[in-house]
């Protein structure tokens, strides 16, 4: 198979809400392009794009799938992305390596929350967008309402290329106002009959044609002058104007199809082949050093690995984009991220799990390879004398977390190996072995996302696991100064243990002055600072350790042991066993024994003195609070607000955004445990949210009291 040149390659992401019919549309595209001889269906579990067992079982796309179609001397590389918000990572990866987005809409529901969320990513990456109104053959399809919603969201940038003559079970014809022809299909779809527009549709078609001509002329000064002189534009002129409007994101064309019946799919692909920009006309990727890289086939060879999967009987499959130069089977590369040497043994053009071997790929192309030694998602592979390194994919923060453990504790190590392997395939699964919580925490984009992870571990790897409620990473701190002393004394024949420590604790804040004088119960304690150590705690906040020993009451060699004892209690706070933070400790007195004093004695004395002083310093428990942003349809607003109030949320602001309400709130992590499930239930799956860590805040008194009671039996043990 010949190698396609950079100016013949078009990379396209297939987006759309869950249920919009992307996978079915992809089947028709593959059929029209001659890649498959018979179209599969989601119900029959035989589609090209949903080939993983979990996808067949669920009837949903879970992973993004690459497929390529050769069309009109062009190579169209598509990445079909899952529609559910839970699997948004696939769309984020795809948009980073493609040049145009096809946004598929379900004609029954129009613009959904998922549509808006995915559109935001196209905005973030500045990608052209084409709207495809699908399922026009459904009895509840409403094309006019869908277009009205598009205009409400994105204004006059939305421009119709086509409209259906009728919708519902009788859908079989569209009027194309770019070609000014009517396309009509037999019940089996496929190749249409192209006719003149009937008289009954001419007025509407001419009105939309004029709007399209004006929109196309707007994006090119030469075309605008020609339009003013001649009053119209040729089809080629309109294509050029539409292309310019796409690239600048000032024009979002609208097409209408039935993916299920293969109607208008061929015409849509003609438009993709003729009009959407090739990869050489789009913004350049930027290296970590800030250098823009032109997709030059004659430049140094560089590949970016944007996705990896593990497949039975094959092992790891690496999907890449050729950023620069050419790659041939047998070429040697260096992994810029890991330093390892790699050889590309085979190159494949991909259609789901079907792979066609090719000899060469050039800058801009997307393909796959296998049997790499040490390659991970996000790595850059370079030829000799090339030092490019790319790191441009940023995934959204997780929204749903659970603790996971194997049913059989002996399988813990095996479970971790599986989890880290799966995270390589989907980076929006976040895995953390928490020393603090003594749990393995997995986080993802929603309950369905983590349920999929569990399904794969249990069905693919045959390892039973269970989810449990994750513990909350509370923090402990103090709100006033307090003092305590503790004597550790142990005598059991031979050398004993002796150490006595007197110390003061107080809340620490950045920039506070050095200590000088304290007063406790009428007793004044003067402090003379001899040395100060500031410890930046791994879990946030600081511990400031002040040496105020005078007269040699405690030898300087024992102070590190006292600090070690204090740190051990900071790692397991006296109230709930959580990490403590933002404390200043002043060691001002003590006693030692010439024979029995040792480091262990002072470590224990320091630990216990700190624990007692901490309890006397009006200690408080802090909880993690998150900034939460919720996009919700107006009719669900009241129910969502009521639910938030029950979660101790503080509403920070609200605004309207074209048919949806946006709520900004601060919510304790404890209350967000199953929020994605609750929000989906309240809104019928139409609302979405994002969350990001904000700060640690004091828990209410009743919550603190409950936490202390729960921890008391553990402390006694």
3 state DSSP class of 358:
strand
> 194: part of which helix (H) or strand (E)?
strand 193-195
Spatial separation of the C-alpha atoms in residues 84 and 603, rounded to whole Å: 54
Residue 202 lies in a domain: no
CA atoms of 478 and 577, how far apart (whole Å): 14
Q: Are 526 and 517 in contact (CB under 8 A)?
A: yes
Question: Alpha-carbon distance 61 to 19, whole Å?
Answer: 10
**274 alpha carbon, distance to own chain's centre:** 33
- Same domain (yes/no): 272, 315: no
What's the CA gap between 479 and 583, in Å, rounded?
A: 9
Could you tell me if 690 and 647 lie in one domain?
yes
Which structural domain, as residue segments, surrounds residue 648?
A: 621-703
**Which string of DSSP letters, residue by residue, matches 402-460?**
EEEEESSGGGHHHHHHHHHHHHHH-TTSEEEEETTTTEEEEEESSHHHHHHHHHHHHHT
> Residue ranges of the alpha helices (H) in 275-403?
none
Residue 174 lies in a domain: yes
**CATH assignment at residue 534:** 3.30.230.10
320, containing H or E segment: strand 315-324
Q: Clarify whether residues 155 and 44 are in a common domain.
A: yes
What is the rounded CA–CA span in Å between residue 207 and residue 203?
6
User: Of 471, 491, 510, which residue is a domain's last?
Assistant: 471
Q: Do residue 603 and residue 489 come from a single domain?
A: yes
Both 665 and 545 in one domain: the answer is: no
Nearest to 201 by CA among 168, 231, 235, 177: 177
Give the up-direction half-sphere exposure of residue 213: CA atoms within 13 A in the CB hemisphere: 19
Token pair of 278, please?
């090739």
Structural domain ending residue among the three candidates 451, 471, 491: 471
Pairing state of beta strands 9-16 and 341-343?
Answer: unpaired
Q: Is residue 168 part of a domain?
A: yes
Within-domain flag for 347: yes
Both tokens of 613, joined, read 């002083």
C-beta atoms surrounding 709 within 10 Å: 9
35 shares a domain with 184: yes
| pLDDT tens string 366-383 | 999 998 988 999 999 999
Contact call for residues 95 and 101 (beta carbons, < 8 A): yes
Are β-strands 542-547 and 523-526 bridged in parallel, bridged antiparallel, or unpaired?
Answer: unpaired
**Crossing angle of helices 637-645 and 675-683, rounded to 10°:** 150
Q: For residue 413, what is the domain's CATH number?
A: 3.30.70.870
CATH number of the domain at 693, please: 3.30.70.240
Please list, in sequence order, all residues whose beta carbon lies within 8 angstroms of the beta carbon of residue 349, skipping any fewer than 6 positions away: 1, 68, 355, 356, 358, 367
Residue 542, domain member (yes or no): yes
List the Cα angle 684/687/690 in 5-degree steps.
Answer: 140
The per-residue pLDDT for range 316-334, each reduced to its tens digit, is 899 999 999 999 999 999 9
Q: Is residue 389 part of a domain?
A: no
Q: Which of 596, 618, 640 is the last residue of a domain?
A: 618
Q: Could you tell me if residue 207 is inside a domain?
A: no
Residues 367 and 502 in one domain: no
Determine the Cα–Cα distance for residues 275 and 147; give it in Å rounded to an integer.
22
Give dist(CA 106, CA 562) in Å, integer: 67
The answer to whether residues 145 and 276 belong to one domain is yes
- Characterize the bridge pairing of strands 315-324 and 366-370: antiparallel
- Report the CATH number at residue 70: 3.40.50.300
Q: Which residues contact 712 (CB under 8 A, 6 or more apart)?
A: none
Query: 452 and 546 share a domain?
Result: no
d(CA 208, CA 63): 38
Alpha-carbon gap, residue 445 to 608, rounded angstroms:
43
Asked if residues 378 and 322 have their Cβ atoms less than 8 Å apart, the reply is no
Number of domains into which the chain is organized = 5
Q: How many whole angstroms separate alpha carbon 63 and alpha carbon 499?
A: 61
How high is the mean pLDDT in each 10-residue block of the chain (717 residues)? 86 94 94 92 89 83 92 94 90 94 96 88 94 96 96 94 95 94 92 94 94 86 76 82 92 96 95 90 89 92 93 87 95 92 93 91 95 91 92 88 94 94 90 91 91 92 94 94 94 81 96 92 90 93 94 92 96 91 96 90 96 95 95 88 95 83 94 89 83 93 91 72
DSSP secondary structure, 548-612, as one string: ---TTSS-GGGHHHHHHHHHHHHSS-TTTSPEE-SEEEEEEEEE--TTT--HHHHHHHHHHHHHH
- 520 and 641 housed in the same domain: no
The predicted-structure confidence for 249-303, as pLDDT tens digits, reads as follows 999 999 999 999 999 999 999 999 999 988 888 888 999 999 999 999 999 999 9
| Residues 613 and 625 occupy one common structural domain | no
Same domain for 440 and 314? no
E strands of 325-409, at which residues?
Answer: 326-328, 332-335, 341-343, 347-351, 354-358, 360-362, 366-370, 380-382, 400-406
């Amino acid at each position: 198979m010949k190698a396609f040149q950079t100016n013949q390659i078009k990379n396209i992401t297939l987006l759309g809400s869950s249920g919009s019919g992307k996978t079915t549309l992809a089947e028709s595209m593959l059929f029209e392009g001659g890649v498959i001889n018979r179209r599969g269906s989601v119900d029959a579990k035989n589609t090209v794009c949903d080939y993983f067992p979990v996808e067949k079982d669920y009837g949903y796309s879970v992973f993004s799938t690459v497929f390529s179609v050769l069309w009109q001397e062009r190579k169209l590389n598509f990445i079909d992305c899952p529609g559910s918000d839970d699997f948004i990572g696939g769309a984020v990866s795809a948009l980073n390596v493609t040049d145009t987005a096809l946004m598929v809409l379900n004609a029954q529901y129009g613009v959904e929350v998922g549509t808006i969320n995915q559109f935001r990513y196209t905005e973030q990456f500045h990608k052209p967008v084409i709207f495809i109104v699908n399922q026009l053959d459904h009895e509840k399809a409403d094309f006019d309402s869908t277009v009205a919603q598009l205009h409400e969201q994105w204004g006059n940038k939305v421009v119709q290329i086509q409209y259906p003559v009728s919708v519902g079970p009788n859908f079989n014809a569209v009027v194309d106002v770019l070609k000014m022809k009517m396309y009509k299909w037999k019940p089996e779809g496929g190749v249409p009959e192209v006719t003149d527009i009937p008289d009954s549709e001419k007025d509407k078609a001419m009105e939309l044609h004029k709007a399209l001509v004006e929109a196309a002329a707007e994006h090119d000064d030469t075309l605008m002058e020609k339009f003013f002189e001649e009053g119209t534009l040729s089809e080629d002129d309109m294509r050029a104007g539409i292309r310019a409007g796409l690239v600048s994101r000032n024009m979002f064309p609208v097409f209408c199809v039935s993916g299920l019946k293969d109607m208008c799919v061929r015409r849509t692909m003609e438009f993709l082949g003729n009009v959407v920009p090739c990869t050489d006309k789009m913004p350049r990727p930027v290296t970590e050093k800030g250098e823009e890289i032109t997709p030059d086939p004659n430049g140094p060879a560089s590949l970016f690995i944007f996705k990896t999967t593990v497949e039975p009987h094959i092992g790891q499959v690496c999907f890449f984009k050729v950023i620069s130069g050419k790659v041939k089977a047998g070429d040697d590369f260096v992994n810029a991220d890991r330093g390892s040497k790699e050889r590309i043994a085979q190159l494949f053009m991909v259609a789901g799990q079907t792979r066609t071997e090719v000899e060469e790929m050039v800058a801009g192309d997307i393909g796959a390879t296998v049997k790499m030694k040490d390659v991970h998602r996000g790595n850059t592979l370079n030829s000799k004398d090339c030092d490019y390194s790319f790191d441009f994919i940023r995934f959204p923060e997780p929204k749903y977390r659970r603790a996971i453990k194997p049913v059989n504790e002996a399988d813990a190590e095996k479970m971790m190996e599986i989890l880290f392997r799966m995270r390589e395939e989907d980076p929006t699964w976040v895995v953390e072995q928490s020393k603090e919580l003594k749990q393995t925490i997995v986080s993802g984009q929603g309950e369905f996302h983590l349920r999929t992870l569990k399904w794969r571990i249990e069905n693919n790897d045959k390892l039973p696991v269970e989810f449990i409620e994750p513990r909350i990473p509370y923090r402990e701190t103090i709100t006033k100064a307090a003092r305590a002393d503790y004597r550790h004394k142990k005598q059991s024949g031979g050398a004993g243990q002796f150490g006595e420590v007197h110390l003061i604790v107080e809340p620490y804040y950045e920039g506070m002055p050095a200590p000088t004088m304290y007063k406790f119960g009428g007793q004044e304690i003067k402090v003379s600072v001899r040395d100060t150590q500031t410890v930046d705690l791994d879990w946030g906040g600081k511990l400031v350790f002040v040496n105020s020993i005078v007269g040699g009451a405690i030898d300087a060699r024992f102070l590190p042991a006292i600090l070690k004892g204090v740190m051990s209690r900071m790692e397991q706070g006296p109230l709930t066993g959580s990490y403590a933070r933002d404390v200043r400790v002043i060691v001002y007195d003590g006693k030692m024994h010439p024979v029995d004093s040792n480091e262990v004695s002072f470590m224990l004395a320091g630990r216990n003195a700190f624990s007692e002083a901490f309890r006397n310093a009006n200690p408080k428990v802090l909880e993690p609070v998150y900034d939460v942003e919720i996009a919700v349809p107006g009719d669900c607003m009241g129910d969502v607000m009521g639910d938030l109030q029950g979660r101790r949320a503080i509403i920070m602001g609200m605004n309207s955004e074209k048919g949806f309400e946006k709520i900004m709130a601060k919510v304790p992590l404890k209350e967000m445990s199953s929020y994605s499930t609750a929000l989906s239930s309240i809104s019928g799956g139409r609302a979405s949210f994002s969350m990001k860590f904000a700060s640690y805040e004091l828990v209410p008194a009743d919550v603190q009291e409950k936490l202390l009671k729960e921890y008391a039996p553990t402390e006694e043990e």
